[in-house]
Amino acid sequence: AAGVIQSPRHLIKEKRETATLKCYPIPRHDTVYWYQQGPGQDPQFLISFYEKMQSDKGSIPDRFSAQQFSDYHSELNMSSLELGDSALYFCASSVDRGGDEQFFGPGTRLTVL
Amino acid sequence: LAKTTQPISMDSYEGQEVNITCSHNNIATNDYITWYQQFPSQGPRFIIQGYKTKVTNEVASLFIPADRKSSTLSLPRVSLSDTAVYYCLSGDNNNDMRFGAGTRLTVKP
């Protein structure tokens, strides 16, 4: 069965650079979620989209922005990267918003040097 | 969004039944309770979801008492591969769920 696809799987950036993470949800899933998980931490909800509109907003820094496109894929744009942004970034998708079962992707490991 | 509280860690042995209890005292009428499992460096994986009483699937059971202020995830006959972090979340279809501090389960031989 098709799963959530994230790219790239690994990314190394310098401080103050920008990064773009991509997420391709499971076909016919119209809700996408972004999470950040630092080393030894629990997943922190960043932002979600339902039918290409922002659905809910969590602890996403102002330096980050995201959107969901007409084909339902989503991109997380990160600017002015800081050392503390080094983390695993997970994307998840679900058929519907809110409490529906979320299917997580493999994650993108971002390292900021 | 209801806040959930779980034990930080639990130890068990292979073949035993493990029960992880989650407290959600402020759960709202429309909130569901959902449990996820996470292995290191992998995304969380859905285990089970329920609203009231008991739900069972091929991997776990979820017990929710009538007042819904707590829930218990039951894993029958755990194996070493069940060593993971388990998260209890609550929310409804209008509010995205938040991951709190999960329970780190260690299964020993």
Decide if B95 touches A, using CB distance below 8 A: yes
What is the Cα–Cα distance from B57 to B49, expressed in whole angstroms?
A: 10
Is the per-residue pLDDT at A55 higher than 70? yes
Give yes or no for a contact between A46 and A37, defined as CB atoms under 8 angstroms apart.
no
For A48, the closest chain B residue by CA position comes to B96
Domain extent, residue A88, equals 5-112
User: pLDDT tens-digit profile of A11-43?
Assistant: 999 999 999 999 999 999 989 999 999 999 999
Is the per-residue pLDDT at A65 higher than 90? yes
Point out the residue among A98, A103, A105 whose CB comes nearest to the CB of B91.
A98
Chain A from 21 to 60: CB within 8 A of any B CB: 33, 35, 42-45, 48, 55-56, 58
The strand pairing partners of A22, in sequence order, are A7, A75
What is the Cα–Cα distance from B1 to B55, expressed in whole angstroms?
A: 22
pLDDT at site B94 = 59
- Inspect the interface and report whether the beta carbons of A42 and B96 lie closer than 8 Å: no
User: pLDDT tens-digit profile of B30-80?
Assistant: 888 999 999 999 999 999 999 998 999 999 999 999 999 999 999 999 999
Is the per-residue pLDDT at B97 higher than 80? no
Is the per-residue pLDDT at A109 higher than 80? yes
Weakest-pLDDT range from A53-62, A64-73, A96-105, B37-46 = A96-105
Q: How confident is the model at residue A1 (pLDDT cuts 50, 70, 90)?
A: confident
Total count of domains within chain A: 1
What is the Cα–Cα distance from B18 to B4, expressed in whole angstroms?
A: 19
Q: For residue A83, what is the domain's CATH number?
A: 2.60.40.10
Point out the residue among A92, A98, A103 whose CB comes nearest to the CB of B92.
A98
pLDDT at site B2 = 53
Q: What is the DSSP letter of B30?
A: T
What is the Cα–Cα distance from B27 to B95, expressed in whole angstroms?
A: 13
**Which of A104, A108, A109, A110 is the mutation pick for testing B, counting most B CBs within 10 A?**
A104
Point out the residue among A43, A97, A98 whose CB comes nearest to the CB of B99.
A43
Q: How confident is the model at residue B99 (pLDDT cuts 50, 70, 90)?
A: confident
pLDDT at site A96 = 76
Give yes or no for a contact between A68 and A76, defined as CB atoms under 8 angstroms apart.
no
Decide if A102 touches B, using CB distance below 8 A: yes
Contacts of A101 in chain B (CB under 8 A): 34, 46, 49
Class of domain B9-108: mainly beta
Q: Kind of pairing, strands A108-112 and A10-13?
A: parallel
Residue ranges per domain, chain B? 9-108
